[in-house]
Amino acid sequence: MPFVAKISIFALLYARRERSEYMEGIKVIESARLAYKQHWRTTSDESRGDKQATKVTKAWQQGVVSNDIQCEVPIRGDLKEKIDLIDRSANMAYEMKVSGKNPHHEFYRDIFKVVIYNQHHARKLKGLVFITEQDGADKLNKGLGKAVKELLARHKLDVTVEGI
C-alpha cells in the first residue's frame, strides 16, 4: 500500500483530534510497522510464531513508551486482560494482532476490553486503533467489522483498523 494511502486513513482521526495527538498516533502505528518488519517471520510452528509475536509487541511498546503512553494497562483489577498501549494524551487504546491468523477474533475481543475499561475508569478512552496484517485490516474494514465500527461511532467510541 502506498504511503499516501496510509496517511489518508488518518483523515478521520485528524478531524477529531488535535494535531499533536494525530502525530502521536502516526508515531505509534509507524513504530508497530517497524517492529513487525524487523522481527516477524511467517512460520508454521505455533510456538515459534507466539515467541515472534511477543518480540514484535515488546519492540513496538519499547519504541513508544513515554509519560503519556503506557503499556500493558489492566482493564479491571479482577481481570487478567490488558490493553497493549494507551496514549493518555489522546485517550486512545492501541492493540496489535501480529499474526494474520483470525484477526477478527482479537478485534472483537479488543473492542470489549476498551468498553470494560471505560466502565471502570473515570478517564474514558475515546477509541481503539487495532493494528494487524494488511489482509486482515482490509477484511475488518468492510462487512461486519465496518458495521461494528459505525455502531460504536454512534456511541462515541472511534475504532480504526490499520494494516502493518
Three-state DSSP at 35 gives helix
Which pLDDT band, with edges at 50, 70 and 90, does 6 fall under?
Answer: very low
Does domain 3-163 fall under CATH 3.40.91? My reply is: yes
**22-67 pLDDT, tens digit each:** 567 788 999 999 998 988 877 777 777 788 888 899 999 999 999 9
pTM: 0.84
Q: What cell numbers appear for 141 in the block?
A: 474494514
Buried b (16+ CB within 10 A) or exposed e, 41-79: eeeeeeeebeebbeebbebbbeebeeeebebebebeeee
Choose among 42, 162, 25: nearest CA to 103: 162
Residue 3 is predicted with a pLDDT of: 45
Query: What is the tens place of the pLDDT at every residue in 52-107?
Result: 888 899 999 999 999 999 999 999 999 999 999 999 999 999 999 988 789 999 99
Q: DSSP state, 123?
A: S
**Is pLDDT above 50 for 18?**
yes
Gap between the Cα atoms of 95 and 103, Å rounded = 11
The pLDDT of residue 86 is 97
How many Cα atoms are found within 13 Å in the side-chain-facing hemisphere of 3? 2
Predicted local distance difference test score (pLDDT) of residue 25:
78
Q: pLDDT band for position 8 (50/70/90)?
A: very low
